[in-house]
Amino acid sequence: MPLLSVDDLTVHFKIRRGLTRKSIDTVHAADDVSFALDRGTTLALVGESGSGKTTVAHAILGLNKPLKGSIVFSERDLLALPRRERRAARRGMQVVFQDPYSSLNPRMTVHDLVSEPLRVGTRISGDALRDRVLELLEMVGLGTQHLWRRPHEFSGGQCQRIAIARALALSPDLVVLDEPTSALDVSVQARILTLLHRLQEELELSYLFIAHDLAVVESVASAVAVMYLGTIVESGSTETIFNDPRHPYTLALLASVPSPDPEQRSAGAALSGDVPSAIHPPSGCRFHPRCKFRMDVCDKEAPPLVERLGRRLACHLPDEFDLTADQEAARAARATAVVEEEPRRRARPRPTEATAPRMRRRW
Amino acid sequence: MGKRATAEQPSASPAVAGADTGRPVLQIEDLRVEFRSLRGVVRALNGVHLTVHEGEIVGLVGESGCGKTVTGYSVLGLLPKPQAQVTSGRILFKGEDLLTKSAKEMRALKGKVISMVFQDPLASLNPVFTVGEQISRVVRVHKDVKKKAALEATKTALQATGLPPTDALLKSYPHQLSGGMRQRVCMAMAISCGSAMLVADEPTTALDVTIQMQILKLLLRLREELGVAQILITHNVGVAAQTCDRIAVMYAGNVVEEGPTAEVLKRPRHPYTLALIECLPQGKTAAELKTIPGAVPDLITPPAGCRFHERCAHVREICRDSLPTPVEVARDHWTACHWVQETAGGGDELGRGAGGEAESLVPAPAGSPGPAPAAAQPAEPEAGDPSTSSEEA
Amino acid sequence: MSMDTTIKGGGAFADWRLRHQSGIEESRHNVRVFFRDKLAVAGLIVILATLIIAIFAPYLAPYPEQGRGDSDMQDRLQAPSRDHVMGTDQQGRDVLSRIMFGARIPLIISFVVTAGVLLVGVPLGGIAGYFGGWVDEVVMRITDIFLAFPALVFAMALVAFLGASLQNVALALVITWWPWYARLVRGMAISLRERPYVLAAKTMGVSHFTIIRRHILPNTLGPVIVQMTVDVGAVILEVAALSFIGLGAKPPTPEWGLMVSEGREYILSAWWLSTFAGIAIFGLVLAYNLVGDALRDVLDPRLKR
């Protein structure tokens, strides 16, 4: 039984305007997302902005209201439970966010920050509370001298460790890591990833790792789900996906990662155009406007996510199709192409997952 | 870095070692910058040397606080006035020292001859003006032309950055465009007057990976088609690896290693560069990741001598007292490190090997601490055995 | 920053100092920044002096009984002299003593009004901003209604309705001022509620009101404090204004605004009646404004680190 199993998760946000808060448009942030996370493993949710990965993470954490679908955690469907019980059912999951500084209340001391989950979820107090906090700090490589200091006195890496200590306070089974190292320097990132790895082994944790940095994903995750514009396009074991990508988007994504080995010049098959709007997603397969290999059926029917070729894949291209073969031709064709798209006429500011549902005019 | 025998004068000959791309366009010599803050004086730049040749893309790579952005800002004269002070050094642009120029003279250069592109394209564009207006404005400020000519120049610039010069685009406002397009607009603005040099400060950090690739390709294209020399400031080694001809690695206010990209990344010599590459997740599992012990030093009370010595696996006595001077370890590949000097040059710590005083290739930078600089003999390309470096990491 | 891990002396105090070392350091730093502004320091001295005078008026005033209200018709309208440094008023009372006794009023009222405004406005703003939706709409419409009234006119109407007295003035001011703070805090709460640390708290299961109390409101303190210090000056002015037109303090209360008003008919002959009281108002309000400006600099996040 996987620890976490998400099925057909759909989250839409309504954009409301005016005094009556009438709904004008809907942001299709996530549609029919399904994946599973096994105990003790790390599943990475990968995608660029607008992919819906943060929305899915927030849905799992209970920070938004999915339209439909199920989130089965420790064998209980969180969305089917009455409100009262959901909080209790979610006790086994915690979160670490991307920006180390804004994920910690700047006015609170490290002690108060790390003990907050304990104060909410248990009856521990006083000295026992402090001892538990110290225990947690030690696990992440911090000490007594840090106990009464405030976040701004620490470096980014240390803040992230405080956030991790906080996440471990209630001994969770699942930790959702939302781009935990994106805001950190390379050397600090290495430290944090090493720490997370060690904690995973020692405490038998499972991680849902949201990221856009594929190099990091390849290092830490045993399974990957690639998202594009609210849907999963491909998912499977890290090895399979990275060594033998079958979805054109996955291929483009992998090709776009600049390798620090200068002799490995990126394939140059840069993906053209920009991510389309989630308010009016393209018909059929959402990736079709940017897909080199698109066929007629692609703009009519959305391909279902099915078990194929040792992974789950949502694409109309047949099994035998070799994506890499066409690279040369495609590259030659694109070599001198300019970006053709007109700027999208957006009368409204572009919604992101974090600012929806309350749309604010940007000044 | 790159203080060659002709350090005092920009080299007129295109045959300067390593500069197979042309004459030096920009030469930063011994740049030292301090910031006055409430807690004290931050010694942000501690003697930065950097050279960019015509048509070259130089990557300035380092982690936060290393001073790469400060260096970029110094070139453009964008340092915040009361707090920041350039305490020594020169920034020679085509032979003229930018630091001695008046604000007025700099204004004539900025945007016209040297331009800059920043990390957040939305913040770099004025939200109340259309794209067309903003770019045309830049043209009209620098060139005395009429509206029509400015419009033509605007369209040319947009086309050069891969954007269709349509009316629709010219009339759009920044918030109506996507991140990638905005960055292209910023770059169009930067090259609209035919700049010879572009400083790009983390131009793709705020962009998605697939868009990033497009922008990097654009930088390369600008170099190919317009011959724009560039400094690409980034903390992402991959970005630098794929785009730059040369890389300068910075740490805590100094350039610690510099050279052709492939050379520096495949045969790194400075302990910091070595360690940094070890930290990259590429091709490693989480268990295999290495880390660098310690933390970046506080630049208000920086360590004496080499600023990396407290975290260095190869630290020597001399490292604590004297700032190492750049030494050429392979063709056009320079490093400022005492350990490298020792192992490369053999002999005693000062590099004076059997055979007498080593001929100094590098005149002492003004005010450099420590004994008379002794440069190692230019080492043969594979001397300084890659295997010794990797065993330490 | 050096971390003090050894505290001299033991016991509860040492423990308190340890727990709050971060806050203590921050306060020390703030004080240092504040003291760099010489004008603000001058303002602070004025405020402290006023406070001392207000508290010790009975001992400091040369003619305490007159300060309280006793008249001495023999001595009326005396020009400033050695006996009466600021002269005497139309009832023969020593102006200086009256000013000293009158210092209590602006200080007490401004404190009461500020406390009232913060207690009402800040939580309401926090709740409105945090919950959004209909809660926000309801609270904001109410504040909009209050904000639509010109403060002084509204206060006048209220006081006229309830009867002229300083207590009613205080009440009227609280009612007209609280919406500004509600709006200020609501604006901040809207952006704060999206912060990751608030999301983290929600994930932990912290209740909404605890989140508001622990995570939202404390982080609105800075701008609120600054706004408050500047507003105190305005409150003092409004109290004086209302008393000036007869809707606040009643004679023989030595309220400065009232004194200015009472001295109006004598302004050409016995200028000292109104003038010194006017200067006192001016001085105290200016002092608060200078201090407020410096506080803004202290709390300005851009200067930190």
What ipTM was reported for this prediction? 0.81
pLDDT digits (tens, 9 = 90+) for B108-141: 888 888 999 999 988 899 999 999 999 999 999 8
pLDDT of residue B91: 94
Domain assignment present for residue A187? The answer is yes
Least confident piece of the model among A59-68, A134-143, B282-291, B353-362: B353-362
Q: Which pLDDT score, from 0 to 100, does residue A269 have?
A: 56
Strands of A38-161, DSSP E: 42-46, 68-73, 76-77, 93-96
B172 and A187 in contact by Cβ < 8 A?
Answer: no
pLDDT in the model for residue B389 = 31
Which residue out of C30, C138, C204 would a mutagenesis test of the A interface target, given it has the greatest number of A Cβ atoms within 10 Å?
A: C204
Q: What is the 3-state secondary structure (H, E, C) of chain B?
A: CCCCCCCCCCCCCCCCCCCCCCCEEEEEEEEEEEEEECCEEEEEEEEEEEEEECCCEEEEECCCCCCHHHHHHHHHCCCCCCCEEEEEEEEEECCEEHHHCCHHHHHHHECCCEEEECCCHHHHCCCCCCHHHHHHHHHHHHCCCCHHHHHHHHHHHHHHCCCCCCHHHHCCCHHHCCHHHHHHHHHHHHHCCCCCEEEEECCCCCCCHHHHHHHHHHHHHHHHHHCCEEEEEECCHHHHHHHCCEEEEEECCEEEEEEEHHHHHHCCCCHHHHHHHHHCCCCCCHHHCCCCCCCCCCCCCCCCCCCCHHHCCCCCHHHHHCCCCCEEEECCEEECCHHHHHHHHCCCCCCCCCCCCCCCCCCCCCCCCCCCCCCCCCCCCCCCCHHHHHHHC
Task: Compute the nearest-CA separation of A149 from chain C (Å).
Answer: 5
Half-sphere exposure of B189 (CA within 13 A, CB side): 29
Note the pLDDT of residue A322.
79
CB of C48 within 8 Å of any CB in chain A? no
Eight-state DSSP code of residue A278: S
Residue B214 to residue A270, Cβ atoms within 8 A = yes
Which residues lie below 8 Å from residue C244, measured CB to CB, with a gap of 6+? C257, C258, C260, C261
Of A15-19, A72-76, B81-85, C5-9, the least confident:
C5-9
For chain B positions 149-188, those within 8 Å of chain A (CB to CB) are 159, 162-164, 166, 168-169, 172, 175-181, 184
pLDDT for A230-255, tens place per residue? 999 999 999 999 999 999 999 888 88
Q: Please judge whether C303 and B39 are an interchain contact, meaning their C-beta atoms are less than 8 angstroms apart.
A: no
Strand, coil or helix: what is A37?
A: strand
To test the contact with chain B by mutation, choose from A192, A219, A220 the residue with the greatest count of B C-beta atoms within 10 A, namely: A219
Structural domains in chain A (count): 1
Q: Residue A117 sits in which domain range?
A: 4-228
More confident residue, A117 or C67: A117
Size of interface A-C (CB pairs under 8 A): 77
Which of these ranges, A229-233, B83-87, B180-184, B388-392, has the smallest mean pLDDT? B388-392
Cβ-based contacts under 8 A for chains B and C = 6
Rounded Cα–Cα distance for residues B223 and B227 (Å): 4
User: Does the pLDDT value for residue A313 go beyond 70?
Assistant: yes
Task: Provide, as residue numbers in chain C, all residues whose Cβ is less than 8 Å from the Cβ of A19.
Answer: 137
pLDDT band at A335 (very low <50, low <70, confident <90, very high): very low
Residues 6 or more apart in contact with residue C37 via CB below 8 angstroms: C290, C293, C294, C297
- On chain A, the residues whose CB falls within 8 A of the CB of C135 are none
Q: Which residue has the higher pLDDT, B380 or B308?
A: B308
CA distance B208 to chain A (A): 6
Touching check for A99 and chain C: CB below 8 Å? yes
* pLDDT tens digits, B354-364: 333 333 333 33
Is it the case that residue B349 has pLDDT exceeding 90?
no
Q: pLDDT digit string (tens) for B262-304? A: 999 999 999 999 999 999 998 888 888 888 988 889 899 999 8
pLDDT value for A314: 92
Is the CB of A97 less than 8 angstroms away from the CB of C196?
A: yes
Nearest CA in chain B to A197: B286
**Euclidean distance between CA atoms A217 and A221, whole angstroms:** 5
> Which pLDDT band, with edges at 50, 70 and 90, does A264 fall under?
confident
User: C-alpha dihedral over B13, B17, B23, B27, to 10 degrees?
Assistant: -120
**Structure confidence at residue C118 (pLDDT):** 93
Q: Is pLDDT above 50 for A344?
A: no
B208 contacts in chain A (CB < 8 Å): 48-49, 212, 275
Q: What is the model's pLDDT at position B344?
A: 67
Alpha-carbon distance C146 to nearest alpha carbon in chain A (angstroms): 19
Q: Give B269-327 as a 3 state SS string.
A: CCHHHHHHHHHCCCCCCHHHCCCCCCCCCCCCCCCCCCCCHHHCCCCCHHHHHCCCCCE
Q: Is residue A256 part of a domain?
A: no
- What's the pLDDT at C157? 86
Which has the higher per-residue pLDDT, B199 or A351?
B199
Chain B nearest CA to A136, separation (Å): 21
Judged by CB atoms closer than 8 Å, whether chains meet at B214 and A189 is answered as no
Q: Using CB atoms, list chains with 3+ pairs below 8 Å to chain B.
A: A, C
Whole-number Å distance between alpha carbons of B273 and B334: 12
Report the CATH fold assignment for C109-250. Answer: MetI-like fold (1.10.3720)
Cis check for the bond before B121: say yes or no (omega within 30 of 0): no
Rounded to the nearest integer, the mean pLDDT of chain B is 81
A224 pLDDT exceeds 60? yes
Please name the residue ranges forming H helices in chain C. 11-19, 21-35, 38-60, 64-68, 95-102, 104-131, 133-147, 151-162, 166-192, 196-204, 208-211, 221-244, 256-262, 272-299
Model confidence band, residue B345 (pLDDT cutoffs 50, 70, 90): very low
pLDDT of chain C, 305 residues: tens digit per residue? 444 444 455 677 888 888 888 888 888 888 888 898 899 999 999 999 999 999 998 888 888 887 777 777 777 888 888 888 888 888 888 888 889 998 988 889 988 999 999 999 999 999 999 998 899 999 999 999 888 888 778 878 888 888 878 888 888 889 888 999 999 999 999 999 999 999 999 988 899 999 999 999 999 988 898 888 888 888 888 888 888 888 888 888 888 988 898 888 888 888 888 899 999 999 999 999 899 888 888 876 554 43
Long-range contacts of C47-54 (CB under 8 A, 24+ apart): C47/C284, C47/C287, C47/C288, C47/C291, C50/C103, C50/C107, C50/C284, C50/C287, C51/C103, C51/C107, C53/C100, C53/C103, C54/C100, C54/C103, C54/C104, C54/C107
pLDDT by residue (tens digit) across C62-108?
888 877 777 777 778 888 888 888 888 888 888 888 899 989 888 89
Look up the pTM and report it: 0.82
The answer to whether position A287 is within a domain reads no
Can you tell me the distance from the alpha carbon of B222 to that of A219, in angstroms, rounded to the nearest whole number? Answer: 34
Segment holding A84, helix H or strand E: helix A83-89
Q: Specify the CATH number for the domain of residue A43.
A: 3.40.50.300
**Do residue C33 and residue B39 have CB atoms under 8 angstroms apart?**
no
Q: How far is CA B178 from CA A320, B156, B201, B336, in A?
A: 36, 21, 19, 42
- pLDDT value, residue C228: 87
C163: closest CA among C262, C71, C80, C250?
Answer: C250
**DSSP-derived 3-state class of residue A228:** strand
CA–CA separation, C246 and B294 (whole Å): 71
| Chain A stretch 147-176, residues whose beta carbon is closer than 8 A to a beta carbon of chain C | 148-150, 152-153, 163, 166, 170
Q: Is A185 on the interface with B (CB under 8 A)?
A: yes
**Interchain CB contact of A338 with B (< 8 Å):** yes
- Contacts with A, B 317-346, CB within 8 Å: none
Question: What part of C 134-163 touches A (C-beta under 8 Å)?
Answer: 137
